[in-house]
Chains A and B, each alone.
Chain A
Amino acid sequence: MKRLALALTLIAGPLWALDPSEMLEDPALEARARALDHDLRCVVCQSESVASSNANWAQDARRTVRELVAGGASDEAVMDFFVARYGEFVLMSPRASGSTWMLWAAGPAMLLLAMGLGYGYLRGRSRSVASQEGALTEAEQRRLQEILKE
């Protein structure tokens, strides 16, 4: 494993995204490796995945992915291998662990909040159908509701 990590840091080889010579013979394993490439970020160019990057580092990463996959490592194990060496940054998207749940929850939470507000607004608008124009403002309506509830 140490040698692998060392190989990753060496800068060598031609400048090209996934080269035929890197590919695994077994199509099923190669397909898995390619899927993994897409979930790993190239730490050199940062905006691209290992699959599409031309950087030397990405090429070494692709070789490593294939060595690990061919050696029988699970997808999780491959990811762990990279995270252990390069930190979470190397993942295209963070795992839903620790504080990251907030990232995943932000959208749905906001949607619920927005739906609540939107529905309240629509109710307010349609209520004033009954009370007719200019009778009560929204705020007064809401106040009235509160009073009525008590």
Chain B
Amino acid sequence: MPRLILRSMITEFGHFALILAFLVAIVQTVVPLIGAHKRWPAWMAVAEPAASAQFLLTAFSFAALMYAFVISDFSLRLVTLNSHSAKPMIYKISGTWGNHEGSMLLWVLIVTLFGAMAAWFGGNLPPTLRARVLAVQAAIGVAFFAFIIFTSNPFLRLVVPPFDGQDLNPLLQDPGLAFHPPFLYLGYVGLSMAFSFAVAALIEGRVDAAWGRWVRPWTLAAWVFLTIGIALGSWWAYYELGWGGFWFWDPVENASFMPWLLAAALLHSAIVVEKREALKSWTILLAILAFGFSLIGTFIVRSGLLTSVHAFANDPERGVFILMIMGFFMGGALILFALRASAMEAKGVFGVVSRESALVANNLLLAVSCFVVFVGTMWPLVAEMFFDRRLSVGPPFFNMAFSPFMLVLGLILPIGSAMPWKRARVLRAMRPLRYVFILALAVGGLAYAMQSGRSLLGPIGLFLAAWIVMGTLVDFAQRTGRGSGRLARVMRLPRADWGKMVAHSGLGITMMGVCGLMAWQQEDIRVAQFGEPYEVGGYTITLNGVVNKEGPNFLSTMGYITLAQDGREIAQLRPEKRIYPVAQMPTTEAAIDYDLARDVYVVIGDRQATGGWAVRTYIKPLTNWIWIGSGLMALGGLLSLSDRRFRVAAGARKLPNAVPAE
């Protein structure tokens, strides 16, 4: 049976490659650091091929694990626990990272990927800085390789392989969620690059405009990935969990949101470093903290500490290991920061009212709002440890304590971004925006007048959206100057300006979606009888029948529902209740009629003893704008990432090959 042996060998090769990658990472940490310190070019040059090798080995290892999932090799413990032969192929593949061990391997794969990319595209960096960046990046790799190999090895075998696996959690068998972790990890780990740059700069003892320019694309990329990852996750929660919530403020979500907030702050403060050579030490600190929050996030998710203190005790080894990694990197970096930050002398000078100070305000709001989320997330732990109170902190707290920061951020955004560098006047910056402000107020007022309730949330959302989007557009148009040929000049504006306009508009649009949904949602729960229409928020809903069906690995109860408005049929909705027999788990599949103005969200419940079926209907206004806005934010980030000044920086790599620079 040579084929079976080969299959088995691939797994062993994967395991071996993982260990080799660990060793390469150790070499890549030690040798270039010494080389950079002693100015030995040959030692520094080790970093580049090592980064490539580390990535290729890890990629092979990950591919081997994925292969084991694809062929359902149940001699692997991990595959048995998380897969099943009857599962659709896409979920066999996503099963690779749908578990602790596999997701950690994905994590470290991305660490090495970013390291390799820094090696490949970092040709224009000074050699010592490049060597140090790659060494720090490899050090992160070392820690996580060790974590995987010693506490979470995905390649462990079972002595007696079972005939079939135990299936992946059916909630996770969903296209939205299959790709949610990879994006989130690309974001989390992308911040490791900003961290490596920050630590390398501290070791070098130098931060200048060029450093700001190098660190920004990595931060932007990480932020874009985080945005996409978070949006996918919340979209999944919206359509999968069966009642249309999009954000729950639970510790795992907060774990991804905190790095997002800090990355947003970082990519703004890096602009100040790049353009004005100020805010240097703050930017370094932000870069360290942003990655710190990624580590905290990993710790929260992986140790299970915050869902329950007891889950942590079940597996203290892993939790303590990540805690040690966190302590080492954060402690080390912050000590280095304390020693060296004073060397980061600011050059740029500017007035108290200026673009710079607007960006400082942006950073304050983002950092403090991140702090609020952090305190809220950790508070149950603090309360239990120090005050002996078992309590929980949920949405009511976060909505109250966090939202005001976003409100203020939205208010100052258009003014701040219209201000010139160095010295500005608030009134002058406001002048082109005054009509927009009045118009936005009118939009909010109109919404207030038209709504039935007294809630301010919806009108505030519409006001903010109008203010931010129109304000950003006006600011964008101002950049082209006056006179003819304006349209042509708009097209020639730098991509960074386009990115700024699109991303800021996206933020406003997301705010509108969030406020609209929270303020104007309608809910209806009732027993529906076959063929008896009823009204919900102006829509007519008729339950025509309920059928049992069989899916590939689940049993389904499907409702046939007609959605109509003003006597005209709009859609046929098919909400389902599923049961996954292998995992013994029920799920709900809501049927949603998507529309830009509102979603109609229908869920089928149980058959009632009195006859008929329970049907829940939600009218969810403006919901889709939450994700359209998120998409625009990500698109804006990408546009900014493609700006010429970064491409030129990347293209400069070719120069040293043609003409020896040194």
Chain B residues with Cβ below 8 Å from A71 are none
Bitwise, B336-378 to A at CB < 8 A (1) or not (0) is: 0000001001111111100011001100100111011001100
B392 touches A41 (CB 8 A): yes
A46 touches B308 (CB 8 A): yes
A98 touches B525 (CB 8 A): no
Chain B residues with Cβ below 8 Å from A49 are 394-395
B397 touches A103 (CB 8 A): yes
In the assembled complex, the Cα of A139 lies from the Cα of B614 at a distance in Å of 69
Given contacts A115-B364, A126-B350, contact A20 B392 (CB under 8 A): no
In the assembled complex, the Cα of A106 lies from the Cα of B394 at a distance in Å of 16
B368 touches A123 (CB 8 A): no
Instruction: Give me the interface of A with B, judged by CB distance under 8 Å.
Output: 14-21, 23, 34, 39, 41, 46-49, 51-52, 54, 87-89, 91-94, 98-100, 103-104, 106-107, 110-111, 114-115, 118-119, 121-123, 125-126, 128-129, 133, 137-139
A99 touches B383 (CB 8 A): yes
A114 touches B349 (CB 8 A): no
Given contacts A20-B614, A133-B349, contact A92 B307 (CB under 8 A): no
Query: Closest CB-CB distance, A34 to chain B, in whole Å?
Result: 8
Contact of B393 among A20, A94, A125 (CB under 8 A): A94
B527 touches A118 (CB 8 A): no
Given contacts A107-B372, A118-B360, contact A100 B383 (CB under 8 A): yes
B350 touches A99 (CB 8 A): no
Please tell me if B552 contacts chain A, counting CB pairs below 8 Å.
Answer: no
A106 touches B371 (CB 8 A): yes
Chain A residues with Cβ below 8 Å from B95 are none
Given contacts A14-B606, A128-B349, contact A46 B307 (CB under 8 A): yes
B390 touches A52 (CB 8 A): no
Q: How many residues of B contact A (CB 8 A)?
A: 58
6 residue pairs, one from A and one from B, having the closest CB atoms = A92-B394, A93-B397, A107-B372, A93-B396, A88-B391, A47-B250
Chain A residues with Cβ below 8 Å from B608 are 20-21
Given contacts A87-B390, A94-B383, A104-B401, contact A48 B248 (CB under 8 A): yes
Please tell me if B242 contacts chain A, counting CB pairs below 8 Å.
Answer: yes
Contact of A133 among B347, B376, B387 (CB under 8 A): B347
Query: Closest CB-CB distance, B206 to chain A, in whole Å?
Result: 16
In the assembled complex, the Cα of A114 lies from the Cα of B427 at a distance in Å of 25
In the assembled complex, the Cα of A128 lies from the Cα of B352 at a distance in Å of 11
A89 touches B606 (CB 8 A): no
Please tell me if B605 contacts chain A, counting CB pairs below 8 Å.
Answer: yes
B375 touches A92 (CB 8 A): no
Chain A residues with Cβ below 8 Å from B392 are 41, 46, 88-89, 91-94
Chain B residues with Cβ below 8 Å from A15 are 586, 606
Please tell me if B243 contacts chain A, counting CB pairs below 8 Å.
Answer: yes
A98 touches B394 (CB 8 A): no
Query: Closest CB-CB distance, B276 to chain A, in whole Å?
Result: 10
Chain A residues with Cβ below 8 Å from B350 are 122, 125-126, 129
Can you show 20 pairs from A to B with CB atoms below 8 A apart? A17-B243, A19-B525, A20-B614, A41-B394, A47-B307, A49-B394, A49-B395, A87-B390, A87-B391, A89-B390, A93-B393, A93-B396, A93-B397, A98-B389, A99-B383, A100-B383, A104-B397, A107-B405, A118-B360, A122-B352
